Amino acid sequence: MHNKRILKYSFLFTVILFTYACNEAKFMQGKRTYDVMCGDCHMEDGSGVAKVYPELNAEKIATLIDDLPCIIRYGVNKPASLIKMPPNPSLLPVDITNIINYLCNDMHDLDREFTMVDIISSLNDCPKDSIR
């Protein structure tokens, strides 16, 4: 009788544990880096603040996908824009890979996954003036 109860509870506990495990972001490291490096302005849910800090919606990510490594690494420096996105020299290719995979697969459901080799080759082709 007593054993049965223990069994019942441990089953319940396992189910709860699995539910939580499944809810975790697939690219957890990317989420952590995003929250610290990008979340202050773009917000942790990517909702941004009106036009001041742009929302990172699925459409925008999909459109900019090829430029993302350079944007994250070198920032956005349009002369007309009031608040410029700063460059992030401290982010290594591995960090940028994690962030982009997090944006594409956890924050949004774009189902695109990049390897570090992809990202490094994109970074090598960044425009030199870094004005986008």
Partner 1 sequence: MIRYLICAISLICCISGCYTSDNTPLPVLGNPEIVGGDTIPHTIGPFSLLNQDSILITNASFSDHIYLSDFFFMHCPTICPKVKKQMLRVYDRYKDNPEIILVSHTLDPKRDTPDNLKTYAENLEINQDKWIFLTGKKEHIYDIKNDYFIAATEDPDAPGGIAHSGKIILVDKKGQVRSFAEGTDPKEVNQMMEDIDKLLKEYAQ
Site residues (vs partner 1, CB under 8 A)? 40-41, 43, 47, 49-53, 82-83, 86
CA distances from 17 to 23, 31, 70, 94 (A): 10, 20, 38, 29
Q: How far is the CB of 86 from partner 1 (least distance, A)?
A: 6
3-state class of 83 per DSSP? coil
Q: How far is the CB of 78 from partner 1 (least distance, A)?
A: 13
Q: How far is the CB of 81 from partner 1 (least distance, A)?
A: 9
3-state class of 78 per DSSP? coil
Q: For residues 88 and 130, which CB has a smaller minimum distance to partner 1 in the complex?
A: 88
Q: For residues 31 and 119, which CB has a smaller minimum distance to partner 1 in the complex?
A: 31
3-state percent helix, strand, coil for the chain, nearest multiple of 5: 55, 5, 40
